[in-house]
Amino acid sequence: MLAARPHADSYDLRPTTDQTFATTGLQPIVVLKGGEMDAVLRLVERGLGSRSCPS
């Protein structure tokens, strides 16, 4: 579903993610947001969450 969205020039996927969840009738439970991709990936690596990264 995200692939159908326009390409963004930044790592900030939050608006697209929120819109996609809303479209499907779901609501994510966000406990922590991170602006530094390296820090987010380290947290995920340690099993402390999940992530969405642009490809």
Instruction: Please give the Cα distance from 23 to 36 (Å, whole number).
Output: 27
What percent of the chain stands above pLDDT 90? 9
Tell me the average pLDDT of the chain: 75
pLDDT digits (tens, 9 = 90+) for 9-28: 555 677 888 888 899 998 88
* 19 found inside a domain: no
Give the number of domains in the chain: 1
Instruction: Please give the Cα distance from 12 to 5 (Å, whole number).
Output: 14
Q: What is the pLDDT of residue 23?
A: 93
Instruction: Please give the Cα distance from 55 to 46 (Å, whole number).
Output: 21
Residue listed under structure tokens 């608006």? 15
Residue 40 near residue 26 (C-beta atoms within 8 A): no
* 43 found inside a domain: yes
pTM tops 0.85: no
pLDDT at 43 over 70: yes
Domain extent at residue 33: 29-55
What percent of the chain stands above pLDDT 70? 69
* 20 found inside a domain: no
* 11 found inside a domain: no
* 42 found inside a domain: yes
* 21 found inside a domain: no
